[in-house]
Amino acid sequence: MKIVGYGICGPNEKYLQETLDCFTKLCDETIILGNNLTDEDKIRLKNFIVVEDNREWGKNQHRIKEDFLKNHVSKLDPDFTLCLDMDEELLVTRETLEDCATKGQAWYVYVVNLWEKGYRSDWSFWNVRFWGWEWKDKLGEGFYKFENRPLHCGLAPKWAYHLNLHAPFILLHKGLKDKADRDRKVKRYEEYDPNQVYRASSYYEALKTDNYEEYNQEKIQKQLNTHINSMVQPLNKQLNIKAKKKEYLILREEDGFTFTIPENVLDTQLKQKYKGKGFKLI
């Protein structure tokens, strides 16, 4: 199995090395898209494949990411991709990622927003960071499409967010840890989303505060292990709307494992992955 890592790197990323170490540990190859890199940034990235796209980030995120996947990441011929922001660290082993790859095509992980000397549980959330390329030909151009918005369009293509697979992995997001970094975020969002269209106003207001909770990794991990099933089920109800339109179908295996799948790849997926295995549509 070939796992390719990718991410977008802006200028002067404070936690870049931790992210690069994560890619090195988990991926066979890693490609970075640079957006307005400094000369020092390019030196720090010298051991990785780097391409550049200097379009204005706050206006063109989704287009930059779509072109990056289609024109560059795809040429590395990945089986699966690990996508990280340049201030993130995924706490998982390569072996565990490979195991996930045998069970589904896109995986949510739990993003823990570190904040000052602790973290914010109210602003920690699930997001896709590991996804596969099996359906590239079946989905055509739609395979590369991100949410059509200039901000907060995700790190994975839109289709990946419809697959209801959650893994109890902690992803440490360090970019909001320091007040100075949060203040820069506030200024950026005030410029590019002054009417708070692309994210809830409560998120923007939270960036202005210094409040945090004690970070206890073991405790958070236990909570994920205990509650992951209850976290998955409510999402099924949201996806039922799409399932009725026959865009996506929800299936449950005999062991209770529930997942969603685009209807137009249903036959191919079941023939290849679930020969003789019991399941039912729900």
> Could you list the pLDDT tens digit for every one of the 282 residues in the chain?
999 999 999 999 999 999 999 999 999 999 999 999 999 999 999 999 999 999 999 999 999 999 999 999 999 999 999 999 999 999 999 999 999 999 999 999 999 999 999 999 999 999 999 999 999 999 999 999 999 999 999 999 999 998 878 999 999 999 999 999 999 999 999 999 999 999 889 999 999 999 999 999 999 999 998 877 665 443 333 333 343 444 656 666 554 545 566 666 666 555 555 555 555 555
User: b vs e for 170-193, b when ≥16 Cβ sit within 10 Å of the residue's Cβ?
Assistant: bbbbbbbbeeebbeeeeeebeebb
Q: What gap in Å lies between CA 273 and CA 253, rounded to an integer? A: 12
Residue 196 CB coordination number (10 Å) = 14
CATH fold for the domain made of 3-206: Spore Coat Polysaccharide Biosynthesis Protein SpsA; Chain A (3.90.550)
- For the chain, how big is the Rg over CA atoms in Å? 19
Q: What gap in Å lies between CA 245 and CA 167, rounded to an integer? A: 27
DSSP code of residue 26: H
Residue 149: what are its φ and ψ, rounded to 5°?
-150, 150
pTM of the model: 0.82
Residue 254 CB coordination number (10 Å) = 9
The 10s digit of each residue's pLDDT in 32-88 is: 999 999 999 999 999 999 999 999 999 999 999 999 999 999 999 999 999 999 999
125: nearest Cα among 142, 141, 111, 105: 111
Question: Can you give the residue ranges of every domain in the chain?
Answer: 3-206
